[in-house]
Structure 1
Amino acid sequence: MRIQKNKALPALVIALAAAGIWWASKPAPTKLTTPTAIPVRVVAVSEKDVPRYTSGIGSVLSLHSVVVRPQVDGILTKILVKEGQLVKAGDLLATIDDRSIRASLDQARAQLGESQAQLQVALVNLKRYKLLSVDDGVSKQTYDQQQALVNQLKATAQGNQASIDAAQVQLSYTQIRSPVTGRVGIRTVDEGNFLRMTDTTGLFTVTQIDPIAVEFSLPQQMLPTLQGLINDPQHAQVKAYIGADTDGETGNLLGEGHLTLIDNQINANTGTIRAKAEFDNASQKLWPGLLVTVKIQTALDKDALVVPPTVVQRGLDQHFAYRVNGDKVEAVQVQMVYQGSGQDIIKGVKAGDVLVTDGQSRLKPGSTVQVMSEPPQVVQAEPKP
């Protein structure tokens, strides 16, 4: 037993020596350095006047669209306009064969001349009978009969004049004139066709293009706002876009107009109310039947505090933003006044305050930050010829 204990002693010495060597060569613990700054992008709170908008989907409508139909039967002798041509109210569009109506007019004029000649003779005789009746040269009955003849001939002349007026009206219908200023549509008949008043298709349509209207629907909750806008002498501004979403920020602006009409009832099935706006359309970008997105300016916030939408963060029960103070950030409670598609109006900060707009996910109050500049713009090289 004494021999085994002596053999174990050298092994223990070797183990202790190895442990001492390891402890002596162990690297010293690294001391904690200052926290690494979190990169963020910031924006300064700006103060400006901001208009508020509401959006909806609408359809472009012509203020006047007329189907040109004949008012007398006859052969279409001439068409004086082309398809797609712009015409003014009163312009001659087409003519119908008028020979029969002119003959009726000449006949009515001849009958009027005959009646007027007979009336002239009757008046001379009436005057003579009146003088003779003073001395009982003619009987009272003869004088009364002559007076009745004069009245009859006057009525006949009036009837003849009415026939002339009617024939002249019929004659005017042989010249088809534009009732409105607008654009001629696709023609449905050609010269030489026999037209009837009972034809439903007509010759073509004339549709007013400038000015033009847009009819759209908004939620019924917007009724008080619309009523205030319609009574405003300044007229609420309405913008029409194509290819835009309901925010109206994307797509092409087709025109700017003003609110003109609110419908007299709310649609109980959809809970919406219809409204109409009128647009000047000299460039003819708005076309009847076109679906557009409309934006209506409902208010104007004076000296509003404006920030990009990415600044405001949503907490458990409130909104907040990170404000940069030196090289650190602090959480500031803010109130969301208005959310637009490209900017928000808030309260709780001051104009000029620097707020974090990107990188909030790594932040907490008191975090050290490093403000990054805007990313450089990518310049595309021109292709070599």
Structure 2
Amino acid sequence: MDATDPIPSYESSAARPALLSGWRLWAVLGAAAILVWAVFFRGGAKKDAGKNAAAGRPVPVVAVPARQGDMPVSLTGLGTVTALNTVTVKSRVDGQLVRVAFTEGQMVRQGDLLAEIDPRPFQVQLMQAEGQLAKDRAAYQNALADLNRLQGLVQQGIISRQQLDTQSSSVAQYEATLKADQAQVESAKLNLTYSRITAPISGRVGLRQVDAGNMVRASDANGLAVIAPIQPINVVFAVPADNIQNVLRQTAKGAKLPVEAWDRDLKARLATGSLSAIDNQVDSATGTVRLKALFTNDDRTLFPNQFVNARLLVDTLRGVVIVPTAAVQRSPQGAFVYVVKADGTADMRPVEVLATDGDDTALKQGVAGGEIVITDGLDKLRPGSKVVLPKPPAAKG
């Protein structure tokens, strides 16, 4: 081999395949990165396009115009109907019940006959008392006549003064006996009167507790029946203690606050009355104050121990803007509503709430009367969102 001939390099020939493999690896990684970038870019572009399309699509909502007028401010609480006074009719004497003169659930007036107890034992007692009275009266008259005679004999000096004094004492004893006898007669007459059981008050009679033929006693706990007056009648209900100052301010002015009694579902008004009393303390367990309202109950729709919803009218706001309560939303910044602008977009308006009464809310500022406020579909709205209102039903020809 000539010295000028190049010497074969085994080292470079062995490194060439390794270098070629490194370029191929970088090429594959670069192609994969381009593919991934293209996929994510195109997917993100599609999502952004979808969002833009959704943002441009009108949101179906339900809206009503705000109105301006007077709104009552009421307090509602669960109440119980209570009678003015409830009486358990009991017998005042012992005896056999021979007659029941009332019908269960009947309306009775004070003094009406309800039941009768066998009067014969009391009639006998009366006759005995009257006989004893007549006997003692005759003895008294005889003693009185003797006293008159002895007074003349004493003046003549025939008898001693001691005999006259003894006779005077006897006459006084007979007078006392006559009073005791008269008391026995009156007691027997009273027992005879008590054998006729009458209604102590006017009201509705409850269920009969004892049937005719049974023995009744004055010590019986259940009595014959219960009478509860229902005209007029009371309703006792509770309101939050935070609102009691509004009630006190109105009553201090001499206002007679009206109260309505509604059924449990607040769908039917049962009766109308007025506030009659306010309790003197707050119930610490519930944070409420008990109130009492008086109802005439002319149509007898209220029953004692019936549960009702009492609605107390505290005040009336004059000339305020009224919107549905469902339109008022809350956020950390305060209350707001969505108003439909003339261009069909939703405008978020911060508002100041005056009072809420059921489905109505009075606003102090933020919305003017006649503006359209959104009540349904609020969860999909953003300020500036396009909205579409439902079309009114076509008029029938």
Compute the TM-score of the two structures, normalised by the length of structure 2: 0.73
**Structure 2 counterpart of 1:149, from 162, 167, 170:** 170
Deviations 1:276-297 (A, max 9, x none): 2222223222222222222112
What residue is the counterpart of 1:17 in the other structure? none
Q: What is the correspondence of 1:314-353 to structure 2 with a 5 Å cutoff?
A: 314=330, 316-321=332-337, 327=343, 332-348=349-365, 352-353=369-370
| Partners of 1:187 and 1:203 within 8 A in 2 | yes
Paired residue secondary structure (1:287): coil
Amino acid at match of 1:45: R
Matched residue type, 2:296: D
Q: Residue 175 in 1 paired to residue 196 in 2?
A: yes
Query: The residue matched to 2:130 in structure 1 has which SS?
Result: helix
Partner of 1:256: 272
CA distance in 1, matches of 2:249, 2:127: 61
Of stretches 322-331 and 169-178 in structure 1, the one that deviates more from structure 2 is 322-331
1:304 aligns with 2:320: yes
Retained in 2: the 8 A contact 1:319–1:334? yes
Alignment of 1:1-385 (within 5 A): 41-48=63-70, 50-134=71-155, 136=157, 138-228=159-249, 233-244=254-265, 250-314=266-330, 316-321=332-337, 327=343, 332-348=349-365, 352-358=369-375, 362=381, 364=383, 375-376=392-393
Distance 1:207 1:36, change over 3 A: closer
1:376: how far off? Answer: 2.7
**Which ranges in structure 1 are unaligned for 5 or more consecutive residues?**
1-34, 245-249, 380-385
**Structure whose residues are more often helix by fraction:** 2
* Counterparts of 1:273 and 1:368, CA distance in 2: 48
CA separation in 1, counterparts of 2:208 and 2:357? Answer: 47
AA at the equivalent of 2:194: Y
Determine the C-alpha separation between the residues in 2 that align with 1:58 and 1:78: 39
Q: Provide closer, same or farther for how the CA distance between residues 150 and 251 of structure 1 changes in structure 2, counting only shifts above 3 A.
A: same
SS at match of 1:266: coil
Please tell me whether the aligned partners of residues 307 and 344 of structure 1 are also in contact (alpha carbons under 8 angstroms). yes
The unaligned stretches of length 5 or more in structure 2 are: 1-55
8 Å CA contact retained: 1:332, 1:348:
no
**Deviations along 1:62-88, whole A, 9 cap, x unmatched?**
223322222211111111111222111
Task: State the distance in 2 between where 1:322 and 1:266 align.
Answer: 39
Q: CA deviation at 1:327?
A: 4.9
How far did 1:326 drift?
5.7
**Alignment RMSD:** 3.3
Measured in 1, the distance between the counterparts of 2:138 and 2:183 equals: 17
Alpha-carbon distance change, 137 to 223 in structure 1, aligned in 2, over 3 angstroms? farther
Amino acid at match of 1:340: D
TM-aligned CA distance change 1:378 to 1:233, over 3 Å: farther
Using structure 1 for the length normalisation, give the TM-score: 0.75
Task: Count residues with an aligned counterpart.
Answer: 337
Contact 1:230 1:261 in 2 (8 A): no
> Offset of 1:353 from its aligned partner?
4.7
Structure 1 residue 105: Cα displacement: 0.8
Structure of greater Rg: 2
In the alignment, is the contact (CA less than 8 A) between 1:230 and 1:259 conserved in 2?
no
Q: CA deviation at 1:134?
A: 4.5
Question: Percent of aligned positions with the same letter in both sequences?
Answer: 33
Distance (whole Å) between structure 2 residues aligned to residue 261 and residue 202 of structure 1: 32
Which moved further from structure 2: 190-199 or 309-318? 309-318
CA distance in 2, matches of 1:118, 1:296: 73
CA distance in 1, matches of 2:272, 2:234: 11
| CA deviation vs aligned residue, 1:301-338 (integer Å, no higher than 9, x gap) | 23333222244444551334456776577655431111
Conserved 8 A contact 2:73-2:316 = yes
**Alpha-carbon distance in structure 2 between the residues aligned to 1:56 and 1:154:** 67
